[in-house]
Amino acid sequence: MRRRSFLLQGLGGFAAVCAGLPSRAVCQAGQAGTGEAPFLMRIDLRAPEAGASFRSHLVGLLERHIDALSDGRIRVVAEETETTGRDVRSLVQVRQNRLQAAVNSVSNLTAFVPQVDLLNLPFWANTPERFMNLVSSEAWETVVGPYVRSSGFEVLHYLPLGSRVLATTGAFPGPVLRPEDIAGKRIRVGASRALRLFYRLCGAVPVPVPWSDLHREVASGQADVLDPSAPVLLSSGLGEYVNSISYVGSVAYGHALTVNRDWLESLPAALRQAVRQAAAAACLELLEGSAAHYREAKQGLESAGVRIARMDDGARQRWRGQAGAQRAEWDELKAALAGSGGDFDRLDGVVNADGPWTGRLPQPDFLDTV
């Protein structure tokens, strides 16, 4: 309980919604109301694939906490279709209010809110502590929050789910240890401008591929390298195509739980608070279990014959030196995403200082490989 109270304090921007948060026991028991719930919250849930799904786990946590905190007045409905949860399309449905919420990678969210691409700057907010200190800060809310809301969304929480790895596929055995190892190689990217620039600076060829098409593209040999996190490789079934993975430690694999802002604002005030509290509680539980999540993913991939490449700080510094966000090539993009160089400096001050999450989260998964 003491560790949990520390984590609650670290939610920063979520602190207000966490006030009065019930115990886990209360949420597990639930407080189901009588009759049909007057409000529905339809959320995307990708059809089950190989392995345990982070997405379905998160939806289960939300359902439990929202039922308890709303006294059964909001019912969470998981939409299990072939199109939801696979790329930007679920966010289109959220903006249209056909879905009320979606769980997407930060990279996909950048298609609608380019400013969140700041989280994909390499070797910047690349650890769970730095990531969470940044997204829970007043500076983030002031600089990035207005862009999220003006796009028709509210992000209930951001969550770092491991780091992006470099996974070799097909005829490229790997492992990737140096930037020159991916020179001329085709690497799959999503909507993120930051990730495309990073890989270009490393000499690779970024190839935009929607997540929904990724299995087909990889199976047909159209991508040499993938860059999701190890847990996503395992849960998505992509691990069967992977030869090796390397933990460069450049970027956290961030996710965002995003809701339709108009729908949220249409709820009575107490229920808006319940939704925000439920999201904060789900975030806490996922963060508390993240170390086991990383470990199980690595073990699952190793059992499938995937080589896990070891990389020390010296090797990672070579990547940072060639393509890290401290280089002049990033100045224009940083100012464009933050709105100005001064606003970026405010965010940079948060990233490079101790914050409420410092010392309270498991070490980054890329350090576990040393």
Q: Give per-residue pLDDT as tens, 136-173.
A: 999 999 999 999 999 999 999 999 988 999 999 988 98
Claim to verify: residue 128 and residue 273 sit in the same structural domain: yes
Domain contains 286: yes
Claim to verify: residue 137 and residue 152 sit in the same structural domain: yes
Residue 95 confidence (pLDDT) above 50: yes
- 119 CA to centre of own chain: 9
The helix/strand/coil state of 208 is: strand
Domain contains 364: no
- My answer on whether omega of the bond before 179 falls inside 30° of 0, hence cis, is no
Residue 329 confidence (pLDDT) above 80: yes
Domain contains 60: yes
Going by pLDDT thresholds of 50, 70 and 90, the confidence category of residue 336 is very high
Domain contains 361: no
Claim to verify: residue 129 and residue 231 sit in the same structural domain: no
User: Rounded to whole angstroms, how far apart are CA atoms 128 and 363?
Assistant: 8
Claim to verify: residue 92 and residue 198 sit in the same structural domain: no
Q: Give per-residue pLDDT as tens, 9-53.
A: 434 443 333 334 444 433 443 444 444 679 999 998 654 343 345
Claim to verify: residue 170 and residue 232 sit in the same structural domain: yes
Claim to verify: residue 37 and residue 74 sit in the same structural domain: yes
Domain contains 119: yes
Q: Which of the listed residues 243, 272, 290 is the one where a domain comes to its end?
A: 290
Residue 85 confidence (pLDDT) above 80: no
Claim to verify: residue 307 and residue 187 sit in the same structural domain: yes
Claim to verify: residue 101 and residue 115 sit in the same structural domain: yes
Domain contains 237: yes
Claim to verify: residue 247 and residue 258 sit in the same structural domain: no
Owning domain of residue 172 = 166-251+295-351
Supply the pLDDT for residue 80.
Answer: 65
Claim to verify: residue 100 and residue 188 sit in the same structural domain: no
Claim to verify: residue 148 and residue 185 sit in the same structural domain: no
pTM (2 decimals)?
Answer: 0.88
DSSP string, 168-234: EETT------SGGGGTT-EEEE-S-HHHHHHHHHTT-EEEE--GGGHHHHHHTT--SEE-S-HHHHH
- State mean pLDDT over 320-326: 97
- State mean pLDDT over 233-256: 90
Task: Say how many domains are in the chain.
Answer: 2
Domain contains 362: no
**CATH code for position 62:** 3.40.190.170
User: Rounded to whole angstroms, how far apart are CA atoms 124 and 344?
Assistant: 12
Claim to verify: residue 79 and residue 191 sit in the same structural domain: no
Domain contains 367: no
Mean pLDDT of the chain: 85
Residue 84 confidence (pLDDT) above 80: no
